[in-house]
Structure 1
Amino acid sequence: MNTASTDLEIAARSGSTLKRIRARIPTYLADVRENPAWLPMFMLARTMPGRRLHWLGARPFSANNRPASSIFAGVDAQEATARLRADGIQTGIDLPADIHEGIAAFARKTPCFGNFDRRLSFQPLEHDQAEQHFKRPLLSGHYFETILECPEVRTVQADPLLHEIAARYLGNQAKLITTRVWWSFPTRSASERDKSLASLDKFHFDLDDWRMLKFFFHLQPVDADTGPHVYVRGSHKRRVLRHQLTLLVGHSAEDVLDIYGRESPLTLTGPAGSGFVEDPFGFHMGTVPKTTPRLMMEVGFGVSKPSSRRFHGEPIVR
């Protein structure tokens, strides 16, 4: 590549980076106003020394609190926790058919909000018509607190096995902070800002709390063309210095895989109901669906008080 081409590529990447930062600044400012403790977390939780120091305060799991039953058959919480510590991810945490079918049925008939924007409400099965109506690409459709009207969703978020794994991994301070269901849609064109808000096509790590754990469930079958989730195994427990010091959490696949290993990514595909749990400090991304919408559920745990200003994960959209 000649010097001129290199300069153009650097300029393009810098422009994309600035757009991603600008898109998130209003949310960051609101988070600081609501909870000043958010800022030191946001600055220090990206560093390995800061994270290790905070992990020292994790209270050990109490075996006396082990649950008696769960909807998740055949999952050993202790074994799942050990795998999480080693790889940052554990698969095989699958929903029963009646549960994932009930959630999917609710999602198909209930209006969602496009691109995290409550002004862009539409029926998910009318996605193409909604893009024409709003005259913009709609990469995602979220339900926010509406999803808690679904009884099967409430059953999953209250399941004792999930709470046990979270307590074993994060410490007994672990608490439920996220329950969400969302669509990722195929679309013909999308801006960098929309992709940034949807966390698509860029490896990133989450900085919503000092310590977090997230369970994900496919509510429809997911294959290579359905925008599968990708996780970089082992990246939750090591981080090169430049990835600790940058204010950005999003990085190109080339940048991440050159450092953490070409063999490290795990692409999560599977039938409806298949699930997994991950430490979201590890690099991960959702890819843009090519043909079929992806419908996912997330149940997240952390150790800090969740935001009362907004439904967890909802940015301020201008």
Structure 2
Amino acid sequence: MTDQPTGKSQAASLEMVARNGSVLRRIAVRIPTYLADIRENPAWLPMFLLARTMPARKAHWLGAKAVRRHENTAPSIFPTADCEQIVDTLRASGLFCGLALPTSVHEEIARFAQQTPCFGNFSRRLEFLPEDHSQAEQRFNRSILSGHYFERALQCEAVIALQRDPLLTDIAEHYLGGQAKMITTRIWWSFPTKAASQADMRLASQDKYHFDLDDWRMLKFFFYLTPVNEDSGPHVYLLGSHKRRILKHQLTLLVGHPANEVLGAYGANNAVTIMGEAGLGFVEDPFGFHMGTVAKRSPRLMMEIGFGVSRPSRRRFHGEPVIR
């Protein structure tokens, strides 16, 4: 006589089926982007497969080169920042919070962003001015969770100046090694919206802990360009998670995982929610688990400058996804 499954086991089985189906859908959505990355740079594939494992990452870190000596370095817009202290903090916890953009710089970038059309949900077909977000949702008949500028960000002189700031390069080289180079720059809005799809939320990396696999070794600088509180989508980072990884998170193709699973593995007490005024800057090792939360009442404008050790993509701006 065959044992009949209990209600509890049936529910667990159904949950597993649903979860597996969700995983397959998430992988399927990314396949066009994966294929494009492989075609452009075949070395991307071994990085993508192996850089999530701790043995491969530690082996790759052994190839870090000595920091180069720079002559005639221009002054930094962060005159009081201590590179050595920042790097030591990053190595210990994966996060340093305490950089501050001069008012003139963050106001110039914010003004540029307010006056320049952005692209909604990573789609160049959804173009609108940020102040017209609500009208854009009606015009395109869909919720719009994010607005990116892609290469338009480089039209702003303050963005270029921040890219070239010697402190950022100095920190990146001392943390990643002498081969560190800037590989990403982006400005984007996170908008309060209704009924955002799970696919759009995944694309915007919101409300799900994940780690980045854009390169073997990376460092990212973030700057808030608008005030950020608990209602405007603060960034969250899990301290220390850049140095350890449970086996389950090394042996899956997915970089995003449920919050309860991640917090259970790496400690809920290590989750830091970053809030502050416009101009607040922080630096993180994006291999550590992190996420952007959903903006509930007010939009968040943010800038990122990322450093890595491999050549950047020439096909897309800041890893722009391939959307069918």
Specify the TM-score bucket, using the shorter chain as the normaliser: over 0.9
Task: Give structure 2 stretches of 5+ with no counterpart.
Answer: 1-6
1:66 deviation in Å?
Answer: 9.0
Mapped pair 1:14 → 2:20: yes
Greater radius of gyration (CA)? 2
Contact kept? 1:19, 1:193, Cα under 8 Å: no
SS at match of 1:263: helix
Q: In structure 2, what is the Cα distance between the partners aligned to 1:53 and 1:65? A: 31
Specify the alignment match of 1:136 in structure 2. 142
RMSD, matched Cα: 1.4
Specify the alignment match of 1:69 in structure 2. 75
Specify the alignment match of 2:228 in structure 1. 222
Specify the alignment match of 1:296 in structure 2. 302
Within a 5 Å distance, the mapping from 1:241-280 to structure 2 comes to: 241-280=247-286
Within a 5 Å distance, the mapping from 1:159-170 to structure 2 comes to: 159-170=165-176
The one of 288, 306, 314 equivalent to 2:312 is 306
SS at match of 2:209: coil
TM-score by length of 1: 0.97
Within a 5 Å distance, the mapping from 1:89-238 to structure 2 comes to: 89-238=95-244
Mapped pair 1:315 → 2:321: yes
Q: In structure 2, what is the Cα distance between the partners aligned to 1:170 and 1:260? A: 23
1:64 deviation in Å?
Answer: 5.8
SS at match of 2:220: strand
SS at match of 1:271: coil
Contact kept? 1:41, 1:209, Cα under 8 Å: yes
Cα gap change, 1:64 to 1:160, in 2 (>3 Å): closer
Cα gap change, 1:244 to 1:146, in 2 (>3 Å): same
Deviation sequence 1:237-294 (CA, Å, 0-9, x none): 1001110010000001100000100101111110000010000000000111110111
Task: Give structure 1 stretches of 5+ with no counterpart.
Answer: none
SS at match of 2:268: coil
Specify the alignment match of 1:285 in structure 2. 291
Q: In structure 2, what is the Cα distance between the partners aligned to 1:66 and 1:223? A: 40
Q: Which amino acid aligns with 1:223?
A: N
1:200 deviation in Å?
Answer: 0.9
1:15 deviation in Å?
Answer: 3.0
- In the alignment of these two chains, the number of paired residues is 318
TM-score by length of 2: 0.95
SS at match of 1:277: strand
